[in-house]
Structure formats: C-alpha cells, structure tokens
Amino acid sequence: MNFELSEEQKMMVDAVRRFVDKDSPVTRFRQMRTTDVGYEPKVWKTMADNGWLAVAFPEAHGGYGGSFVDTSLILEQFGRGLVPEPYIASVVLAGGLLSRLGNDMQIEKFLAPMLEGRTTLAFAYAEKQSRYDATDCETTATKSGSGYTIRGEKVWVLNGHAADAIVVAARTSGGSRDADGLSLFVVDGDAPGLQRTRVHGMDGHSTALLRLDGVEVGADRLLGKEGKASEAVEWALDRGAAAAVAEAQGQLASLFTMTVDYLKQRKQFGRAIGSFQALQHRASDMFAEVELCKGMMILSAIRVDSADANERRAAISAAKVQLQQGGWYVQENSIQLFGGIAITDEQDVGLYFKRIRVLQALFGDADWHLGRYASLPGFDGAAR
C-alpha cells in the first residue's frame, strides 16, 4: 500500500504546520482553557478561509472533494499544538452525518455555515448507561403534530456547550439497544427545552451534559430515514475514532521530540543524560512506537470510507489499540524521563499526556476495540 503523500497534501501539511507554529502554539491552548467557550471564533473562521474545514467534503456540498486522509493530516498537525477548535465535533462527526444523510435544505441551512466558519456543530449520542454502544439509546422522539418531541439526556457531547446546532440521536421506535428505531434530528443550540451544562475535562477541553425536556422539532429536522440511523451513527463514530488517532499522533510525535531534546540538554554526572546507552535504547523504542502509530493512522484513514464495513472496523479498531498500547509506552517514558516536573501544569509534557489519555478513550477504548476486532469474520482463521 502506498503511503506516500501527494504534492498537494505535502503543501497542505506545510501550511497547517506553519499555522500551528506561528498562530496556535501550546501557549494559546493554555489561554483558551479559562475562556467561556474554550476556543476562538476568529481562528475557526481562519481555518475555514484556508479550506481546512471543507477539504474532505464533496464539491456538491461546498467542499473540495478531498479524502479522509487529508482530514487526518490536518488533525495530526493540530495535535502538535493542542489546537482547541472543535474540528472533530463539527467537521468529522456532525458535518459528516449532515453530508451523508442531509437533504439539500439541511445541507444549505446547517452544513454550509459551518464550512464557511460561521457556526460550529456537535453530535449528541452518548448516554450515561450506554458506554460505547450508541444503539443503547433511551432518549425518545415521539411524533407530535407535524414534527417530533424529544426527551432525554446526553453526556460527554463534544462542543455541546457552544455549538450552534446539535445532531441528536433519539429513539423513534423499538427498545433500548435495538438497532432499528434509531433516528437523528438537528436541534438548534438555543431551542426551548434544551439545557446545556458545560463540563471541563481533565485535558482542558470542554464537553456538555444535555437535557432535552420536550424539545420540539419539525419533520424537516429529521436526518435520513426515520428509525434507520444506526448504520450511519456507527460510521460516524468510526470516523471519530480515526480522527482521534490522527490528533493523538501529532501529540505523540511532539512528546517524542520534546523528550529527546530534554535528554540532550539535561546533564547528570557532567554528561548529557542522552549519552547513556540505556536511555538511547528507550528513545529508540519510543520512536518505533510513534512510527507504528503513524502507519496505523494512515491505514485507518484510508479504510474509513471502505465499502466493506468489516474492513473499516478492523483497520480502525487496530489503530485504536495501537494508540492505547504504543501510545502509552511513549507517554509513560516521557513522564519518567522528564521526572517530577512532567506532572506539573507548567510543563507542556503533562498537557500532551492528558489530551492523549482522553483521545485513547474517545469512541471506544482498547478493550472495546479488541473485543470488536475479535468478533469480526475471519478473526479465528487469521489468528491460527
């Protein structure tokens, strides 16, 4: 498989890298942690003007017809600087669902403003009892008049505290955990009956708890066919998992670079500690794990839109497991080699460590993805 980037992709990566280095280093992330929203609308607009929000959407929807590999390459660079803007929530999750299921009116009304950087979006699917099973949905949408009334609660909604519109998963029929009966609706961020509670994460990012207490939406807010959204939801969450791997890859690469630089500068017994062979071996192993994560990131990005759903599931679950296991090796060795200063808030290493821990658990942790991989057809034969 050819992992070589095209000339256009190399130019795009260089442009995003320059933006991160100049306009969104880690110092900006530190500043954003204490603001009301957690990111800057003007920076979001800059991203749109540079084409980074629309790069992977079809031209018919206002995009540039790129691929998910392009999206992953952008996220990898964002990860280097801990860029706080809600790219995964708006572009990958809600934007992806709108592009896949939305009709012309819905794309014009909700997707187009986001691609232009005028709004942000969110996707509310998780509930307190659901863990990583998105079909475990107790939020209901009952028909009322010409529309629906939505009742229920959603947890850990990325960008749910600030999004202008939220794609909400709700059950229109069937029982909890039934694949059939799951529907998606677009709810305005200021809809009557919608309560949003901001939650500060350990990584400095914000999510939201949502309570939908009789939120009324018209039939024009239904995305796709009623009761047939479970396949699209799984597809969107797999894209979210691949995006999490991409962002974390940028952070792992930064952790490795920071650690090697420290080994070259920190002196003990009159010598740079990086001159000790034992630490050189450890740095070599860290490099290997970073490169393995990079390969799995590219493979999962290539397979994310595969026509074979099991091929997609296998690549993404394998990438998430590598992020957990190989990523943890890089994380724990960075902390150990830096020593006690690494766990202070003043040291950037700790910020990267905490963000990667969140990304490792988002859209399925390693145990969940190992279980899914083992359940795929052909696993028994491949294991022998």
Interstrand relation of 147-158 and 206-218 (parallel, antiparallel or unpaired): antiparallel
Alpha-carbon distance of 360 to 227, in angstroms, equals 30
Q: Where on the phi/psi map is residue 363: left (φ > 0), alpha (ψ -120 to 50), or beta?
A: left
pLDDT score at 2: 67
pLDDT score at 382: 54
125 closest CA partner among 12, 274, 230: 230
Q: Which residue has the tokens 């934007």?
A: 95
pLDDT tens, residue by residue, 77-97 = 999 999 999 999 999 999 999
pLDDT score at 199: 95
Radius of gyration of the chain from Cα atoms? 21
pLDDT score at 3: 73
Sign of the dihedral through C-alpha 201, 162, 93, 132: positive
Read off the DSSP letter of residue 140: E
Which distant-in-sequence residues (6+ apart) come within 8 Å of 19 by Cβ? Answer: 46, 50, 77
190 in helix, strand or coil? coil
Interstrand relation of 165-171 and 121-124 (parallel, antiparallel or unpaired): parallel
Q: DSSP of 227-280, one letter per residue?
A: TB-HHHHHHHHHHHHHHHHHHHHHHHHHHHHHHHHHHHH-EETTEEGGGSHHHH
Length of the chain, in residues:
384
pLDDT score at 379: 75
Predicted confidence pLDDT, tens digits, the chain (384 residues): 667 899 999 999 999 999 999 999 999 999 999 899 999 999 999 999 999 999 999 999 999 999 999 999 999 999 999 999 999 999 999 999 999 999 999 999 999 999 999 999 999 999 999 999 999 999 999 999 899 999 999 999 999 999 999 999 999 999 888 999 999 999 999 999 999 999 999 999 999 999 999 999 999 999 999 999 999 999 999 999 999 999 999 999 999 999 999 999 999 889 999 999 999 999 999 999 999 999 999 999 999 999 999 999 999 999 999 999 999 999 999 999 999 898 899 999 999 999 999 999 999 999 999 999 999 987 765 544
C-beta of residue 349 within 8 angstroms of C-beta of residue 335: yes
pTM listed for this prediction: 0.95
Q: What is the dihedral of CA 241, 247, 251, 256, to 10 degrees?
A: 70
Question: How many CB atoms are closer than 10 A to CB 369?
Answer: 24
113 closest CA partner among 208, 189, 168: 189
